[in-house]
Amino acid sequence: MDTVSHIMIGFGLGALAQMDPMISTDSTLSTAVLIGTVVGSNAPDFDFMYRLKGKSCYYRNHRGLSHSLPAILIWSLLISTCLLIPFTGTSFSHLFFWTLLAVSIHVLFDLFNVNGTQAFRPFSSKWFSLDFLPLVDPYIIMFHILGFSLLPFYAPGSVFSVIYLVIVFYLLIRLTAALLLKRKLTLHFQNALQIKLIPKTSPFQWSILIETDLDFLFGTYSQSQLWIEHTFSKKIEYPELVLYSCKDQQVDNFLRSTHYAFPFVQKRKSGYFIYWKDLRFRSKKFFPKLAIVFISLGNEKQVSYSGKLVSIKHYKRVIKNLAASTK
């Protein structure tokens, strides 16, 4: 999920904690718990520090170890212990419980969307995602805003007990819709190697990625109908160059962040562009999240880029800079 949503959930959990009489009657403990839930709700994303080593390093590590089972416990213990310093004498058990809940919910919500996490490390380094929430869910944000607006009039614990019951019901609706759609598509595309759902804002609208032996199909599902908008052949041109591009550090980092990258090669007068596109993210035929390698003729020079392109203009500027840097 996005940072704004995680922050809102942190404050919401801090309000929910007021259900506990020990917390609601102790202002020091109440403040400590609120800080614990807000910080804990964002702690797994402190891996943004990897950006200091470059975007590709961040892509490789984001939602990895910082979202793993051991990390959930470590974040919770670290935050709770640090809060005991300014809030001496507060109940560690209460502080730890609510911080642990906040960290766990962060990882859980990230598991619900298309990016997924490596939540089951160290037992498995596989990326897991349940694909039923969009990366930014306006309904969850709206429910929290409603809850915050009611706090001046009602008890915080009571307000957010209702708010979170509504959110759980909403999540069950989205999960059920995703499971039913996945089953429907699996029965229809019996030869599909895999079917990926990319949730949209509406609980009943999806972008669809279907992989077969020969190609990738891209479509949209809405109003109980599926539209296949375009396809890509899985035939790879210049396979030697594609294999060679994998040795690039930025490409290697990018490929370790997704199982849905596929290479496309474009020949130019001065060399070859190898595009590793993340097929989960697209706008019509434009795939904004990718790694690009430019290899000059004769393999004399090689430069690369990885990141998210925000527009066609941005894409053209990146291509121009890569080609110019080998001259």
User: Is 257 in contact with 274 (CB distance < 8 Å)?
Assistant: no
Contacts of 197 (CB under 8 A, 6+ apart): 114, 131, 132, 178, 181, 182, 206, 207, 208
Count how many domains the chain has: 3
Whether pLDDT at 52 is above 70: yes
Is residue 181 one of the residues assigned to a domain? no
| 261 and 142 in a common domain | no
Digit-coded pLDDT (tens) for 19-38 = 999 999 999 999 999 999 99
Question: 175 has which bridge partners?
Answer: none
Antiparallel, parallel or unpaired: β 225-233 and 261-267: unpaired
Block residue for tokens 């990718």: 290
Contacts of 78 (CB under 8 A, 6+ apart): none
| 130 and 218 in a common domain | no
Which tokens go with 197?
């759902």
Q: Tell me the Cα Rg of the chain.
A: 23
Task: Please work out, in degrees rounded to the nearest 5, the angle formed at the alpha carbon of residue 128 by the alpha carbons of 125 and 133.
Answer: 155
Boundaries of domain holding 153: 3-175
Digit-coded pLDDT (tens) for 165-217 = 999 999 999 999 999 999 999 999 999 999 999 999 888 899 999 999 999 99
pTM (predicted TM-score) = 0.90
Digit-coded pLDDT (tens) for 112-171 = 999 889 888 888 888 889 999 999 999 999 999 999 999 999 999 999 999 999 999 999
| 221 and 132 in a common domain | no
Block residue for tokens 């039923």: 132
Write down the pLDDT at residue 1: 84
